[in-house]
Chain A
Amino acid sequence: MRSGTLAVARAIARRDLLVEWRSRVVTNQVIPFAVLVMVMFAFALDSDAVLERVAPGLVWLATIFSVLFLTARSFAVETADGALDAMRSAGVNPVAIFLGKSVAVAVQLLVLDVALVVAAVVLYRADVSLGGGVLLVTTILVATTGLASVATLYGGLAAGTKGRETLLPLLLLPVVAPVLIGATRATESAFGTNGIAVSEGWPWLGLLAVFAVLFSVVGAVAFGPLVDE
């Protein structure tokens, strides 16, 4: 049963990524959107010094805005032709659906975050040392796992409902506050913003890890009852 669940989860993740690969919505729309947000921040803040100071926070804000689109897209694919209902009535374990979709969202987020860090380096003069790079990669991996889990959980709840476009941000944004706080602080250390040492960033990884583990486990348990008919 366990191995069956994992196999189904892998199949769902592969299918979601294949759909993305063929439709290119992430590469052609979501990443340009996120980079555009970074450019708009530069217009709004209008100062190199300020931008350098707030670059880590802006990277994560842009990530969180983009998660909303990624998740909506991930479930629009499901609900457009009733695939989610079909999978549920075919007896597919909701844990497998949750894991598969979370992994697919996480992979897309990783690609997005790489683009955003590059944008921060280019546009905001962010600077990453070797030690900072290790911290940054770890932060992105852990924060992305947490974000993908919680977004899949609430995305599944909002999927197929009236007003899902506005419901998802209302539900999701308050919950991801710990990720925004933790990931921003860790990224500040990785970028060396305001002379913060790289070592000061590692404790924030604890917060991100607790979040990621908590919502992966809770999400797997709660996803079934939330999307069930």
Chain B
Amino acid sequence: MTASTATTGRPDRVTGTPFTRALGIVTLVGVLWLSWFGLFVTPADVNQGESVRIMYAHVPGAWLAYLAFVVTGISSAAYLWRRTRSLTWDRIAGASAEIGVLFMGISLVTGSLWGRLTWGTFWTWDARLTTTAFLFVTYVGYLAVRNLGGSHHQRARRSAVLALLAVLEIPLVHFSVELWNSLHQEASVAGNTDVTMDGLMLFTLFLGVIVFTLMYVWLLLHRQRALALQDLVDDTGLDLAIAARRAEVG
């Protein structure tokens, strides 16, 4: 018998629950609503034209990524703290970082497309942008470390320490980029973007943040459970292999 036959065919081993199904439906409706408002109902911007619509995916995406990294940091601390040590915290941290990297990637791409249309350039060495890029690479590294192998608790401790190191590094990187950037004023194209926003546009942006947050919770629950199943496969797979070997010998 192999590990896969032991884990498949068990209908209770799924990642969905009535709650996540309901949440998934609400999220889907929210995404449709957001797309409708973002693409058709809201007006084009006076200065930015139609490209302003990118913002309804870009800003919530960036928000989601930051939220995900904060959750990764908190769950990592929860894992390291003796009283709350549980692999569930580790899986939440890992799942959250995966979602964060995905959405940070999306908001970097949408941001540079918007920048090209609005400022005429894909990238500027603005402190916030540069820190965001570093954040992205840092968590790509974090995910690489999670896949190094070893026991579950080894993986959990290593990645939790790394996540807390990232919490320390990011402000330092941001501060130094800001210092560096203050010498290069000519590079800041992002001058006056603080314009007053139309009420409907503001509402759509707000809607985007809520929809993306729901999407985050939905993805996190599923991914965290999928990771738990993955760990289970690793554990039972080894046990089954040992049992099979013993049966062979004995």
Contact = CB atoms under 8 A, between A and B. Distances in A.
B137 A181 contact: no
A207 to B, nearest CB: 6
Interface string B174-212: 011101100100000000000000000000000000000
A35 to B, nearest CB: 27
A228 interface: yes
Interface string A185-215: 1000000000000000000000100110010
A210 to B, nearest CB: 7
A177 B173 contact: yes
B69 to A, nearest CB: 14
Given A181-B180, A214-B168, A218-B165, A229 B154 contact: yes
Contact of A174 (B134, B158, B168): B134
Given A170-B137, A218-B165, A222-B161, A182 B144 contact: no
Contact of B176 (A153, A157, A170, A178): A178
A171 B168 contact: no
B162 interface: yes
A225 interface: yes
A42 interface: no
B165 A211 contact: no
A181 B141 contact: no
A174 B174 CA distance: 11
6 contacts: A167-B145, A170-B141, A174-B141, A178-B175, A185-B183, A229-B154
Interface of A: 153, 157, 161-163, 167, 170-171, 173-175, 177-178, 181-182, 185, 207, 210-211, 214, 218, 222, 225-226, 228-229
Given A185-B180, A226-B158, A226-B162, 9 more contacts: A157-B158, A161-B149, A167-B144, A174-B173, A181-B177, A185-B183, A214-B172, A222-B161, A225-B157
